[in-house]
Structure 1
Amino acid sequence: MGVLKIILTIMFIIICIALVVLVLMQEGKSAGLGAISGAAETYWGKNKGRSMEGLLVKLTKILAALFMILAVILNLNVF
């Protein structure tokens, strides 16, 4: 059982680092001065789910869920 805990801990660390990188890669909610004048409503703003930003959001949600699941599993003390 010790080997399984080591593998899960390594996966947990990799997910933690990937989650930090993904959050830092995302843009902020405010688009600067362009958002004030209404210039933020562009093609990329309308199709955000299909863009790179949408992909980053989806990956962040998946990694956050994996982070929480592994945190619970590692703290069950069944190993």
Structure 2
Amino acid sequence: MLGDNYSISWRVLDAQYWGVPQRRKRIFLVADFNGRSASEMFLSQRACEGILRRAKKRGKELPEILQKVLEKQAISA
């Protein structure tokens, strides 16, 4: 959503992938009151795939929660 000098972006994310012991979907809002870049605050499917690919290539083990979140976002974005 764009307006005069602001933008708002939202995503529905499952709380279980963010360290909460619940399976509940939550709405996350990001607002940029100084410009139009709120949508850039969320990682795209391509960005998540790239992070996972680079970590694997470098032999880096990501924290379990981060790994799950990136994998979920990579297939559902």
Q: Same fold (TM over 0.5)?
A: no
State TM-score, norm by structure 1.
0.31
State TM-score, norm by structure 2.
0.31
More strand per residue: 1 or 2? Answer: 2
Q: Which is higher, the Rg of structure 1 or of structure 2?
A: 1
More helix per residue: 1 or 2? Answer: 1
